[in-house]
Amino acid sequence: MKYRYITSPKGEIVRSARIYTPQEHQLSKDLIRWEAVQVIQQLVKRNFEAYVVGGSVRDLLLGNTPKDFDVVTSASPERISSLFREAHIIGRRFLLVHVLFGNIHVEVATFRATLSHSNAQRWGDIHEDVYRRDFTVNSLYYSPIENTILDFVNAMDDIEGRILRPLIPLSTIFVEDPVRLIRAVKYSKSLNLSYAGKLKKKILQSGHLLQHISESRLTEEFIKILASPVFAQIFMEMYETGLLTYLLPNIDEFLRKDTGAYESWARDLMECEQYFLNQSSDQGDWVAAHKKNIKSQSIRNGRIIYILCKPMLFEMKGSKRRIEQSIIRLRIKTLLEPLIPPNTFISKAMQLFAQREH
């Protein structure tokens, strides 16, 4: 085992991170998108630190296929932007740089300093940046040039033990960003991780913080859940932890009135999840392939939305006459409030209800 050392404020040489070699982490640099490698090479060539960080490293270690490869560096956003022909600084609260390679972009962030209430945008070094990550499993830094992984917080142990452990104190992690509540549940189910210590208890106590999150951010997280292969398990866990009360309050209220309604709803969701998993095994990586196809994505998401709303929709069948399409659309939109998913998803859910109405 190799180690990275730094000089402490007292002038002492201390260990700051474990360095995992290729023989220890067993990742191939060929698994990293060449665009991300190209960005890192250009930054390192100019004497900046640069790594692939976060979810992509985690996913590779867990045997999953990353959706994207984010890069973090010691260079400032302005310096990053100046190094590439097509690069755009984006963001308000946190500045990021999108480096463009045709239709592909690589998101590059500057190391962030320890959170300061006076200046949340202050840049830092890698030793500070690691403690701005939410959970240990998202805190690994991979160098495709040296083919090594830097681990400052024993994250590799948590990945091996499949544990979701917060890096930020429980007293502030969800106050700083309540959306982390949803992400914690999503990580737990999609990565098969168990909650560390009192994390689940804190989730159960903190759902009310989601009241202050905008409709657009909640909708963004909702769409990410729809794209997950284990969306049913995530929605069921959100119900169990009380988070569904704030993501889909109208649906949650209906389900809590009748235990039988919840059991039927959960069963239908699991059957829908299994259907798409079977599609994946029959046709390769179904989810990844269909993300590129807007029509297929709308069909998938519309079907899931239909299942989410199904118990409440079929309450409308008291009348024998056919229900107007406009009424169905309004009912689905109302059930999904405060979320504002694309109309294409709503339309597909409407069609499924209309087909089964007879």
Q: Is 134 a catalytic residue?
A: yes
Compute the distance between CA of residue 171 and CA of residue 181 in angstroms, rounded to an integer: 13
Active-site choice (59, 70, 151, 158): 70
Q: Is 70 a catalytic residue?
A: yes
Peptide bond into 77 cis (omega under 30): no
Residues whose CB is less than 8 angstroms from the CB of residue 291 and which lie 6 or more positions away in sequence, other chains included: 227, 297
Active-site choice (59, 129, 134, 151): 134
CB 185, CB 243: distance < 8 Å: yes
- Centre a 10 Å sphere on the Cβ of residue 235 and count the other Cβ atoms it contains: 29
* Angle, helix 294-313 to helix 249-257, in steps of 10 degrees: 40
Q: What is the 3-state secondary structure (H, E, C) of the chain?
A: CEEEEEECCCCCEEEEEEEECHHHHCCCHHHCCHHHHHHHHHHHHCCCCEEEECHHHHHHHCCCCCCCCCEEECCCHHHHHHHCCCEEEECCCCCEEEEEECCEEEEEEECECCCCCCCCCCECCHHHHHHHCCEHHHCCEEECCCCEEEECCCHHHHHHHCEECECCCCCCHHHHCCHHHHHHHHHHHHCCCEECCCHHHHHHHHHHHHHHCCHHHHHHHHHHHHHCCCHHHHHHHHHHHCCHHHHCHHHHHHHHHCHHHHHHHHHHHHHHHHHHHHHHHHHCCHHHHHHCCHHHHHHHHHHHHHHHHHHHHHHHHHCCCCCCHHHHHHHHHHHHCCCCCCHHHHHHHHHHHHHHCC
CB 31, CB 60: distance < 8 Å: yes
Active-site choice (68, 177, 252, 268): 68
Compute the distance between CA of residue 263 and CA of residue 236 in angstroms, rounded to an integer: 10
Catalytic residues: 68, 70, 134
